[in-house]
Chains A and B, each alone.
Chain A
């Protein structure tokens, strides 16, 4: 069979030969291994096959070589193309991921940083605008006043000299001449005095009419800054009505802006101060622990009960016990007696004790920072010895804050002294009066070249002062204000929205930072009922975010259950019952879009199947039909 097909193709069309060349080559490959078998066959068929093989082999060898080369080249190209494509795809994927992450980071950073930078830039812009305003109003008035004063003094001086000269020429008596000179000088002195004390003029202003301009742009910046930060030296003040009206509105708007800006930056600084304080307290607690160990070793007759806390629930119980101390407990008294700082602990116990509400221990603590610091240090040491409290509970000690503040003032005094020609004590006095915003104005910076440095020092000093008040003062204010009474609804109204909002946000941010809470988890926690949280807190259990709270079980396929019909009632059903059932039917089904059967249809189908099933087996069915 193969032979005639091959012959037909070859003889009939020359074009298909060209297209079928690879197939012929494959055909030849297929026959090569079988050729010796064919040669062994009958003699009639071998000569024809042999001839065909010879012809095919003669033409096919070249074709085979060409085809193989072409195929290999094509496949190589395809392979290379694939490889290139894959590489490009991988590169594209990598680029996309990196770009996306970078974009997200940049967006997040901008979202965080933009309001703070905006506030700082707004404050700087506001200061410059104020400086321009005061410079515009006050400089012309100053020049006018200066010219007028110098002219008046000049005239007065000339008049006195003319009188004296005329008298000396006329030969007037000495007593009269002396009296005239005295009167003239007194008038001159009076005018000079008023010029100096009321118009803040310098000797060059009075005599020559020239001198350093007080309301230069840099001085205007200094004035506007000291005005809105409520320092207020008073060495230069607005004299015109426009200037005074401007300072009124300028202060009304500027003081809240500066307070918000400084408080905002002070918050960032407070976090670093808290970390520094924790490190310091860790070192102190280590030293104190070693001292206590030595004391315990020395006083071997007193044995303190060891408190081993294997589970957190016990820790909660210890905390609850700590909240309500028992003064009658002898072990506590023994520990207080044995420890070094007995007086401090006694004061602390007195602070917690309700019966001593009438005393003024808190006032004394506030007045004497050192005592307060000692008490707090001892309290924190106790806590560290017994438990390992969280960082959020610690209160920064007053002594630490005082050291920071006085250190900054002393450092500033050391620096400012180089360009202001003051003694160290005078510089310290100036820095202290400035940083606490008292601002007497008896010592003011005179060197205009270094004024930006002074301004920078004042800015950071105010930030540090605000940070100190924010860390220490607010807690003392709150403790004193709510002393002697339990927290009520009023506290919630004021504390939750007005007074303690910062602490609220700080606490939530702390939760997010330390425990990796997401916004969704916070939402779930806030949705939990109050009673459940309180129950968990009292019983020492962990709140379950997925807690449902007694909701009943609802199966998902509830809508398939419409009604159940007992088969015995089939024969007793009537049109009335069916109509009433149909009226109760719900035509809309939530579970599926398929059409559901009405009770009538369902009933009929059930009846039909029932009769059909029972018909061939029981003869009674025929009677029923």
Chain B
């Protein structure tokens, strides 16, 4: 009794210490990991926003003086063209038709430049002081649509220096934005997967596809009610925007912040849906016709192994570990497969088994007639 009591007390002590250790580790884990990932993901989003704002300021500072120069030049050219035309038509009234044709042709050729068209519209048609093309809000829309990359083409850099900056800006900004959007999208996918389909992915896929179809319709309705565009044009604009086609033929009156939010949410939604639905399609098509039987089962088991080992550096190391395991295991497994029979796994059977026929206890009690007993036993057994 005393021994058992002591053992019980020891067991209780061990369990208590283990509980304390667990609590301590939980607290330390919370302290360590609580801020890390949150700061990282928030930092990504903030860095994206900062990058867009910085780019807007950069392009505004580069392109605005260029715009002013080109505007003055355009106005002067238009006035000269008109004076020339008036002089021609005054001097020779018989050649008026030819003069009109020449004037119209030159005018259209000049209007091919967006800056000229913009200045002409405000100065000659509306008789107003022309607005600036490159304001901070328009520059922000420009940088956002460059980085996502929608690319409406409402405004674009004209100077060589501006274009070089655009190339560098897009080369760095597009990966950053894609990574941020994919990261945010995976959180949304995780939430939906956790709430709905745990067993299969059909329900989340259907949910996202429905959202993808509904989003342009809803935004189209909002645009139709807000600005002066028809519903069909609104749906057309929103669809071409969130799929990053971006023709740029329609210019709805929207707030810049609403525009940016609309584009970001739409592109994230498209990314999630394509990631869920199309990724598996790509894999199936690419690996069709190869011997990948039960690959999912095998790979799932390997990922569970990686999970069990609690690898913190991501999956690459885990795959390397499993790869090393598979390398050694398969080399040995191949040899063994050659040795063993192809019928399947056969239990061990000793060779001595052939000699054993039947256990007979009669021979113990009849030593004299051992031979006859054995023969009779066989006859009995076979009969």
* Bound-state Cα–Cα, A114 to B288, Å: 9
Q: Taking the complex as formed, is A171 at the interface, i.e. its CB lies under 8 A from any CB of chain B?
A: no
Among A369, A485, A516, contact of B37 (Cβ-Cβ < 8 Å): A485
How far does the Cβ of A423 sit from chain B's closest Cβ, in whole Å? 9
**Contact across chains for A181 and B305 when beta carbons are under 8 A apart:** no
Among A244, A323, A389, A545, contact of B236 (Cβ-Cβ < 8 Å): A244
Q: Taking the complex as formed, is A452 at the interface, i.e. its CB lies under 8 A from any CB of chain B?
A: no
* Bound-state Cα–Cα, A499 to B189, Å: 10
Instruction: Provide the residues of chain A in CB contact with B182, threshold 8 Å.
Output: 473, 477, 481
- Contact A244 B232, CB 8 Å, known A115-B285, A319-B324, A477-B183: yes
* Bound-state Cα–Cα, A500 to B314, Å: 12
Q: Taking the complex as formed, is B261 at the interface, i.e. its CB lies under 8 A from any CB of chain A?
A: no
Nearest residue (CB) in B for A605 is B380
**Contact across chains for A498 and B276 when beta carbons are under 8 A apart:** yes
Interface residues in A501-536 (C-beta closer than 8 Å to B): 501-505, 507-509, 511-512, 515-519, 521-523, 525-526, 530, 533-534, 536
**Contact across chains for B190 and A494 when beta carbons are under 8 A apart:** yes
* Bound-state Cα–Cα, A613 to B380, Å: 14
Q: Taking the complex as formed, is B1 at the interface, i.e. its CB lies under 8 A from any CB of chain A?
A: no
Q: Taking the complex as formed, is B359 at the interface, i.e. its CB lies under 8 A from any CB of chain A?
A: yes
Mask: chain B, 63-97; 1 = CB below 8 Å from A; 0 = not: 00000000000000000001001100100010011
**Contact across chains for B149 and A389 when beta carbons are under 8 A apart:** no
Among A247, A473, A478, A534, contact of B175 (Cβ-Cβ < 8 Å): A473
Instruction: Provide the residues of chain A in CB contact with B145, threshold 8 Å.
Output: 438
**Contact across chains for A526 and B298 when beta carbons are under 8 A apart:** yes
How far does the Cβ of A105 sit from chain B's closest Cβ, in whole Å? 13
**Contact across chains for B178 and A473 when beta carbons are under 8 A apart:** yes
Mask: chain A, 533-572; 1 = CB below 8 Å from B; 0 = not: 1101100001111101001011110000000101100000
Q: Taking the complex as formed, is B129 at the interface, i.e. its CB lies under 8 A from any CB of chain A?
A: no
- Contact A533 B325, CB 8 Å, known A438-B146, A512-B291, A556-B349: yes
How far does the Cβ of A85 sit from chain B's closest Cβ, in whole Å? 36
Q: Taking the complex as formed, is B207 at the interface, i.e. its CB lies under 8 A from any CB of chain A?
A: no
Instruction: Provide the residues of chain A in CB contact with B86, threshold 8 Å.
Output: 178, 181
* Bound-state Cα–Cα, A597 to B303, Å: 57
Q: How large is the interface on B (under 10, 10 to 19, 20 to 34, 35 or more residues)?
A: 35 or more
Instruction: Provide the residues of chain A in CB contact with B121, threshold 8 Å.
Output: 193, 197
Instruction: Provide the residues of chain B in CB contact with A602, threshold 8 Å.
Output: 380
Q: Taking the complex as formed, is A493 at the interface, i.e. its CB lies under 8 A from any CB of chain B?
A: yes
**Contact across chains for B193 and A500 when beta carbons are under 8 A apart:** no
Instruction: Provide the residues of chain B in CB contact with A393, threshold 8 Å.
Output: 316, 319-320, 323
Interface stretch (choices B4-12, B13-21, B133-141, B240-248) = B240-248
Q: Taking the complex as formed, is B218 at the interface, i.e. its CB lies under 8 A from any CB of chain A?
A: no
How far does the Cβ of A544 sit from chain B's closest Cβ, in whole Å? 7
Mask: chain B, 168-185; 1 = CB below 8 Å from A; 0 = not: 001110111011001100
Q: Taking the complex as formed, is B282 at the interface, i.e. its CB lies under 8 A from any CB of chain A?
A: yes
How far does the Cβ of B179 sit from chain A's closest Cβ, in whole Å? 5
Nearest residue (CB) in B for A325 is B313
Interface residues in B174-218 (C-beta closer than 8 Å to A): 174-176, 178-179, 182-183, 186, 189-190, 193-194, 198, 201
Instruction: Provide the residues of chain B in CB contact with A206, threshold 8 Å.
Output: 104, 108
- Contact A319 B321, CB 8 Å, known A196-B108, A492-B303, A544-B336: yes
* Bound-state Cα–Cα, A316 to B283, Å: 31
Interface residues in A353-410 (C-beta closer than 8 Å to B): 354-355, 357-358, 360, 362-363, 366-367, 369, 389-390, 392-393, 395, 402
**Contact across chains for B315 and A542 when beta carbons are under 8 A apart:** no
Instruction: Provide the residues of chain B in CB contact with A542, threshold 8 Å.
Output: 328-329, 331-333
* Bound-state Cα–Cα, A491 to B347, Å: 39
**Contact across chains for A232 and B240 when beta carbons are under 8 A apart:** yes
Among A437, A478, A554, contact of B347 (Cβ-Cβ < 8 Å): A554
**Contact across chains for A505 and B245 when beta carbons are under 8 A apart:** no
Among B189, B294, B348, contact of A494 (Cβ-Cβ < 8 Å): B189
* Bound-state Cα–Cα, A545 to B337, Å: 8
Q: Taking the complex as formed, is A155 at the interface, i.e. its CB lies under 8 A from any CB of chain B?
A: no
**Contact across chains for A509 and B290 when beta carbons are under 8 A apart:** yes
How far does the Cβ of A277 sit from chain B's closest Cβ, in whole Å? 15
Q: Taking the complex as formed, is A267 at the interface, i.e. its CB lies under 8 A from any CB of chain B?
A: yes
Which DSSP category, helix, strand, loop or mixed, fits chain B's interface? helix
Which DSSP category, helix, strand, loop or mixed, fits chain A's interface? helix
How far does the Cβ of B131 sit from chain A's closest Cβ, in whole Å? 16
**Contact across chains for B329 and A487 when beta carbons are under 8 A apart:** no
Mask: chain A, 101-136; 1 = CB below 8 Å from B; 0 = not: 000000010011111100100000000000000000
- Contact A477 B179, CB 8 Å, known A264-B285, A490-B190, A567-B365: yes
**Contact across chains for A480 and B179 when beta carbons are under 8 A apart:** yes
Instruction: Provide the residues of chain A in CB contact with B101, threshold 8 Å.
Output: 207
How far does the Cβ of B231 sit from chain A's closest Cβ, in whole Å? 11
Interface centre among B47, B151, B322 (most CB of A within 10 A): B151
Nearest residue (CB) in A for B302 is A507
* Bound-state Cα–Cα, A262 to B299, Å: 26
* Bound-state Cα–Cα, A609 to B374, Å: 12
Mask: chain A, 607-625; 1 = CB below 8 Å from B; 0 = not: 0011001100100000000
Nearest residue (CB) in B for A502 is B283
How far does the Cβ of A429 sit from chain B's closest Cβ, in whole Å? 5
**Contact across chains for A432 and B167 when beta carbons are under 8 A apart:** yes
Interface residues in A161-187 (C-beta closer than 8 Å to B): 161, 164-165, 168, 178, 181, 185-186
Q: Taking the complex as formed, is B293 at the interface, i.e. its CB lies under 8 A from any CB of chain A?
A: yes
Among A190, A323, A522, A564, contact of B295 (Cβ-Cβ < 8 Å): A522
Instruction: Provide the residues of chain B in CB contact with A231, threshold 8 Å.
Output: 151, 245
Q: Taking the complex as formed, is B376 at the interface, i.e. its CB lies under 8 A from any CB of chain A?
A: yes
Please list 18 pairs of residues, one from A and one from B, whose beta carbons are closer than 8 Å in the complex, sorted by A's number: A161-B100, A185-B85, A203-B108, A234-B152, A234-B153, A248-B239, A260-B278, A319-B324, A476-B179, A488-B307, A490-B190, A498-B279, A500-B315, A512-B292, A515-B327, A537-B321, A566-B361, A614-B366
19 A-B pairs besides A436-B149, A494-B189 with CB distance below 8 A are A115-B288, A161-B96, A196-B111, A197-B117, A206-B108, A234-B248, A237-B247, A248-B239, A251-B245, A267-B282, A442-B114, A442-B153, A487-B306, A489-B307, A508-B298, A533-B301, A602-B380, A613-B366, A617-B368
